Amino acid sequence: MTELNTSIRVEVKTQYIEEQSSPKEEKYLFSYTVTIVNLGKKSAKLMTRHWVITDGNGQQSEVQGEGVVGETPVIEPDTAYQYTSGTMLDSPLGFMEGYYEMVIDNDESFHAAIPRFRLAVPGLLH
């Protein structure tokens, strides 16, 4: 397995979901929309995900599992796959990062890096 493959680009946009959060109970819900772009010449299938989630208190949790949002998509060359999911934090600030295990031609597997991104309540950081 190759540790990193630059033929897959991962972009993430986040949003704080105020109406489903409860700061008094230290519950902050964030959604994140991930776009996975296949810049390579072969189709790539997303097999598993591995997330490291760090809250503002430095507490880490890991999430691993098959596919994303119930799917194991095949991403054709020069196309993208997009999905939205969410996470609950115990603090108004946190970070996520990780990787997807991808397979090319049902043969070669590699990790596609998910760059570290911030989850923050609006107005928290200037």
- Which SS3 state, helix, strand or coil, does residue 19 take? helix
Contact in structure between 114 and 99 (CB atoms under 8 Å): yes
CATH of the structural domain 8-120, one choice from 3.30.950.10, 2.60.40.1470, 3.30.420.40, 2.30.42.10: 2.60.40.1470
- Tokens in use for 79? 């196309």
Domains of the chain: which residue ranges?
Answer: 8-120
Centre a 10 Å sphere on the Cβ of residue 105 and count the other Cβ atoms it contains: 9
Q: What is the pLDDT of residues 74-106, one digit of tens each?
A: 999 999 999 999 999 999 999 999 999 999 977
Q: Sorting pLDDT into bands at 50, 70 and 90, what band is 124?
A: confident
Tokens linked to 122:
């609006």
User: What predicted TM-score, i.e. pTM, was given to this entire model?
Assistant: 0.90
Note the pLDDT tens digit of each residue in 34-78: 999 999 999 999 999 999 999 999 999 999 999 999 999 999 999
One DSSP character per residue, 59-98 reads -EEEEEEESBTTB--EE-TT-EEEEEEEEEESSSEEEEEE
38: Cα within 13 Å, side-chain hemisphere: 20
